A and B are shown apart, each in its own frame.
Chain A
Amino acid sequence: MERIWSLNTYTGVRQADPLLIRAAVSFGAGRLSVIRKVVLPSALPMIVAGLRLAAGTALLLLVAAEMIAVESGVGFLVLHAGNIMATTKLMVGIVVLSLLGVLSHWGLGRLERALIPWRAGT
């Protein structure tokens, strides 16, 4: 997950518009200034997108790990309830997992709008 994120960040940083860098330099911006004021902001959408992707994967892997490795957590609850035919418990687990997914998606969406107010359509 972290790798997805850092890969996205890497791509985002590489995509900084050379014209904007030139514009910044034309106003006397130094290396640090260019990184802080041009490269980072232009990478931010990619960074946040990576964060969203990674959050989904993280949740998925967490649940999978809980199912396989440990004897606690929602993943374990779902698997265990399924094994002992406790359908109500099973459904509770599934609903909780769905809510977690929706919640993290929604939260990151809000974060995205707060961090990247300049994107069209947000």
Chain B
Amino acid sequence: MRIVIDRVAKTYVDHQGHAVDALRDVSFSVLLPVSSGEVTFESPPPGRPLTAMVFQEFALFPWRTVQGNVEFGLDELGMAVAERGRKARALIEMTGLAGFEARYPHQLSGGMRQRVAIARALAVDSAALLMDEPFSALDAQTRQLMQDELLALWEQARTTILYVTHDIQEAVYMADTSRRWSGSGRSTPTPACVRPTRC
């Protein structure tokens, strides 16, 4: 599936929008209206949700256990209890959280919380995975570890991932294709090639 981001801009009234802020809200225009331009998903696979999202601040539901959090999206899709339990367990296994199913988010470390969020997003098997600076709240060591783990997960899941980051090194390391977005509060953010290959 191809994701087309066409001359998208987001104008902020209350603060000077950073380019990355703009792109973030833009790429997630599924959730937030953009000021101009459009984000289109070309020929999305039928029968699957378009997007699932991983947030910078994890955004786990504190009243749900690891298992409950991973099941959230499946529940919204209307999946039967037994099946979503099975699927959630598979993803918990895959993200290295086995044994922590019954824990609550406040009992987990930052890296583990973000694994839960990734498992929750992967569970719904969406056409695209949107990741909004997913590792920027983690310490440097955990971040590197999670980058490698995400790449390994991606090797298995092969989902299109749209990944927003401030960290150019991270972008170059993780991405097949990267775009640099710049622009001040007034001008339209312009995507530019960081890596010429496949741009």
Interface residues of A (CB under 8 A from B): 19-20, 22-29, 33, 37-38, 41-42, 44, 116-118, 120
Instruction: Contact check, B51 vs A26: say whether CB atoms are below 8 A apart.
Output: yes
Instruction: Contact check, B106 vs A28: say whether CB atoms are below 8 A apart.
Output: no
Interface residues of B (CB under 8 A from A): 28, 30-31, 49, 51-53, 55, 57, 59, 61-64, 72-73, 76-77, 104-106, 120, 124
Q: Which residues of B contact A20 (CB under 8 A)?
A: 59, 61
Instruction: Contact check, B49 vs A117: say whether CB atoms are below 8 A apart.
Output: no
Instruction: Contact check, A24 vs B72: say whether CB atoms are below 8 A apart.
Output: yes
The smallest beta-carbon distance between B120 and chain A, in angstroms, is: 8
Which are the 7 A-B pairs with shortest beta-carbon distances?
A: A23-B59, A27-B73, A41-B63, A26-B53, A118-B104, A28-B76, A118-B63
The smallest beta-carbon distance between A63 and chain B, in angstroms, is: 36
Instruction: Contact check, B61 vs A41: say whether CB atoms are below 8 A apart.
Output: yes
Q: Which residues of A contact B73 (CB under 8 A)?
A: 27-28
List 19 A-B pairs, Cβ < 8 Å. Answer: A19-B55, A19-B57, A20-B61, A22-B55, A23-B55, A23-B59, A24-B72, A26-B30, A27-B53, A27-B72, A27-B120, A27-B124, A29-B76, A37-B61, A37-B72, A41-B61, A41-B63, A44-B63, A118-B63
Q: Which residues of A contact B49 (CB under 8 A)?
A: 27-28
A117 and B55 contact, Cβ closer than 8 Å, known pairs A20-B61, A25-B31: no
The smallest beta-carbon distance between B94 and chain A, in angstroms, is: 19
Q: Which residues of B contact A38 (CB under 8 A)?
A: 61
Residue in A22, A33, A44 whose beta carbon sits within 8 Å of that of B31 in the complex: A22
With A29-B76, A38-B61 given, can you name 18 additional A-B contacts, CB distance below 8 Å?
A19-B59, A23-B55, A23-B61, A24-B61, A24-B72, A24-B76, A25-B31, A26-B52, A27-B52, A27-B72, A27-B76, A28-B73, A37-B61, A37-B72, A41-B61, A42-B63, A44-B63, A120-B106
Instruction: Contact check, B77 vs A28: say whether CB atoms are below 8 A apart.
Output: yes
Instruction: Contact check, B52 vs A117: say whether CB atoms are below 8 A apart.
Output: no
Q: Which residues of A contact B61 (CB under 8 A)?
A: 20, 23-24, 37-38, 41
The answer for the CA separation of A23 and B30 in the assembled complex, in Å, is 12
Q: Which residues of A contact B31 (CB under 8 A)?
A: 22, 25-26
